[in-house]
Amino acid sequence: MRDALAVLRRIRNHRKKGAEREFTKAERVRMEQEARVCEMDETVERSRGRSLPNDEAGWVAQAQAWRLKMEVALRRERGRLAECTQEADKRQDRLATATRQAQVVEKVIERIDDRASEADRRREARRLDSLGTSRWRREEG
């Protein structure tokens, strides 16, 4: 039975490592997307502060059109960030599940090993008791 559990442990550990890699990849993508959103947000905020009240109407209209385009792109990127965050959360849940499953198998194997070692200790204690008793009988008899 322990051999079957050892195989199961290897499978669970393999799944756990795969889940770790997937989560790391998803988290990296989320962080990159978050950086992109922050950068775009800062760019839009800086552009709002640049317009002067005495600028020509053509320049103001062009700046407004650019800002509108950037606002639309910023909303799209924020939507992508939300998707990346959801994906990272989903993969984190998968990692937590895989970790728990691997720990369960480890605990079962530990208990089996503990029981086996306890049985070995009892056998050894019985053997030593038997040896002690037989020696005592020889000395007494």
Q: In order of start, what are the domains of the chain with their CATH numbers?
A: 2-140 (1.10.287.1700)
Which tokens hold the place of 75? Answer: 């909303």
Which residue bears the tokens 């992109």?
A: 36
Which residue bears the tokens 């993969």?
A: 91
**How many Å apart are CA 13 and CA 11, to the nearest integer?**
5
Find out whether 85 and 27 touch, Cβ atoms under 8 Å.
no
* Residue 60: per-residue pLDDT: 80
How deeply is 53 buried, as exposed, middle or buried, from its count of CB atoms within 10 A (0-12, 13-18, 19+)?
exposed
Find out whether 83 and 26 touch, Cβ atoms under 8 Å.
no
Asked if the model's pLDDT at residue 54 lies above 80, the reply is no
Tens digit of each residue's pLDDT (9 = 90 or more) over 101-138? 999 999 999 999 999 999 999 999 999 888 888 777 77
Find out whether 60 and 51 touch, Cβ atoms under 8 Å.
yes
